[in-house]
A = this chain, B = another copy of it.
Amino acid sequence: MSVTREKIIELGENLIRTKGYNAFSYQDISSELGIKNAAIHYYFPSKENLGTSIVRTNIQRFDEMVENMHSRSFDEAQQLETFIRIYTKSHREQKLCLMGSLGPDFNTLNPSMQQELQRMTDKILIWLSGLLQSGKDKGIFSFKQDPASKALMILSSLIASLQLSRILNKMDYKSIHQSIIEDLKS
Residues of A within 8 A of B (CB): 18-20, 22-23, 96, 99-101, 103-108, 114, 117-118, 121-122, 125, 144-145, 148-149, 152-153, 155-157, 159-161, 163-164, 166-169, 171-172, 175-176, 179, 182, 186
Contacts and interface: CB of A to CB of B under 8 A. Distances in A.
Most buried by B among A105, A152, A157, A166: A152
A146 B68 CA distance: 36
The majority secondary structure among interface residues of chain A is helix
Contacts of A186: 144
Those 5 A-B pairs whose CB atoms lie nearest each other, nearest first: A156-B160, A103-B163, A160-B160, A159-B160, A22-B22
19 contacts: A18-B107, A19-B108, A20-B104, A23-B108, A100-B160, A101-B104, A104-B104, A104-B166, A106-B166, A118-B167, A118-B169, A121-B167, A121-B168, A144-B182, A149-B176, A155-B164, A156-B157, A156-B161, A156-B164
